Amino acid sequence: MNKKYADTLRSRMDDDSFAKLDVLANDALFAFIADAVRLCAPESIKVCTDDPADQAHVRQLAIDNREELPLNIEGHTVHFDGYFDQGRDKQVTKYLLGKGISLDKNLNSMAREEGLRELHTLFAGSMAGRQMLVLFFCLGPTNSPFSIPCAQITDSAYVGHSEYMMYRSAYEHFKAMDPSEEFFRFLHTSGRLVDNVSADAEKKRIYIDIADNTVYSVNTQYAGNTMGLKKLALRLAIRKADREGWLAEHMFVMGVRGPRGRKTYFTGAFPSACGKTSTAMLPGETIIGDDLAYFRVIDGQVRAVNVECGIFGIIRDVNPEDDPLIHKVLTRPGEVIFGNVLVKDGAPYWEGMGRALPSEGINYTGQWYDGKVGPDGKETDASHKNARYTIRIADLDNRDEKLDDPLGVPVGGIIYGGRDSDTSVPVTESFDWAHGIITMGASLESETTAATLGAEGVRTFNLMSNLDFLAIPLGKYIRNNLHFADDLPQRPRIFGTNYFLRDDNGRYLNGMLDKSVWIKWMELRVHGDVEAIEAPTGLIPLYDDLKRLFAEVLRKDYSQEAYVKQFTIRIPENLSKLHRIENIYRHDVADTPAILFEVLSAQRERLEALMKTAGEYVSPFDL
């Protein structure tokens, strides 16, 4: 190791950690760590490898530091974030842009030099008296065309423990890789702590330096802000994918069983709390991942991998009836981290778990009791609406055998879905690739949820469920998706879903498990096993096919009345949506591809033509 790095690092780490680092022979890595040490001034440094003993050290450190508290079931712990640190904070998550670089106005950004000066002040001396952890992970499977190596520096053992559960350990990957290979960098500090939680929420910052592939997060512990490899790294991966001709998406990957032992792989983009994990975890199917996917064309075929190997999921409404496989992992011995739930007598409780919650206990507010008012003057919940769990996918009974396949899985279908109470039918197939990308992906709308800070229940535009994470212009991102499958002999089919359609009285028209039927119908469509009805917005199921599938899959009778309510084409609402989406692209998105307006215009013409002949609300039987 070069002396200028060795002198800085050796003084704060033992011989074992120094040897582990020195053997990597990577000056870019050494410079990143040495700069972080000089800035943050940790008391000591622990370099962790792929060795289970190092992972055990990090987990025990989280308990010793009281960042996690042990629960009654062996291997279970709970972590609490600060009262004002309960979700991804979009307002203080910004891109650092050098001179001459700009992004869409939708994307928060600031001048790079200004941001780095601010970070220098916030990070200065932040790890005094603490141990700095240096960790190595891989986005995607290791030794794969999809692999992106990552170096994580943090003073939070909880963050390190969470990432060991969520990502493949990659010390050996760093040891084998060429020192010139690109890697992502992450620097995090919890900042000043009071009662083991970040105390200076007003000084919370999450900045992404796109010039240096580096993510900085300070004065926060919430995993969505601090697990750099998750949504923060997605921003860097989108830029890398743009340069190299592949896609980085906010999507699950799952296997759907079809007739005669067939399995078809689907990916799906759903904003938080819109049914994404519950779709990926449907009974009888297999899961590869619930959140992030990379896509490449390999040997003339679209293939995808799960970027992660764990789940950081919303725990609200996870119960034995609706999410039996996840619930099983959450209630048996094994490694689980609960976040921001209620704890009473060493047991975790959360909203919608299928049993009554205690009227007092410990939660993200400290000692909690029914009716307690928080520091913002609002009454608090027993378990936060965005309370979470962290588990390994390998611990799930329905894990797919190709979870870690270096070449990923072939993609048969792509699904886009949001929260929509009055417009879209439960399931639709696009007419073609461009129609699906534009009217289902680039036109995605959803109501806001507790997964992000701010008001709930507001319908927002969220193309491909990726708007919050884009680090390239929106028009360019849409073009990348449109052209990704060019020249392929067979493209994945594209579908739109909506689990949240309501009747005039506000009652949901979809049952919780009806999505099991919609996904089976999609699997059949991929292979051309069933016909479809042509509606102005896409292809929808025939009643007889759904009646058979409801009987086979859910053992339920499916009435014509239910079919008509669910699949009536709501023309005024669809036209209103087209107007909203077109207005966004005309006024807020620079360099929108012309084909987007052409496809939206053609859809409007089909809707208006149908309205002239059949009225504003058209039964599927009248199409």
DSSP string, 123-134: HTTTTTTSEEEE
Look up 40 and say whether it is catalytic.
Answer: no
Strands 131-139 and 44-47: parallel
Q: Which of 138, 150, 274, 309 is catalytic?
A: 274
Burial (0-12, 13-18, 19+ Cβ within 10 Å), 322: middle
Contact in structure between 517 and 554 (CB atoms under 8 Å): yes
Calpha distance 119→116 (Å, rounded): 5
Query: What radius of gyration do the chain's Cα atoms show?
Result: 24
Instruction: Decide if 581 contacts 461 (C-beta within 8 A).
Output: yes
**Phi, psi at 96, each rounded to 5°:** -95, 120
Question: How many CB atoms within 10 Å of residue 355?
Answer: 8
Q: How many Å apart are CA 109 and CA 94, to the nearest integer?
A: 5
Burial of 567 (0-12, 13-18, 19+ CB in 10 A): buried
The SS3 call for residue 561 is helix
Q: Quick one: 507 exposed, middle or buried, by C-beta within 10 A (0-12, 13-18, 19+)? A: exposed
Question: In 568-593, where does DSSP find H-type helix?
Answer: 571-587
* Residues whose CB falls within 8 Å of the CB of residue 618, separated by 6 or more in sequence, listed in order: 568, 569, 571, 610, 611
Q: Which residue has the tokens 């670089």?
A: 101
By annotation, the residues acting in catalysis are 274
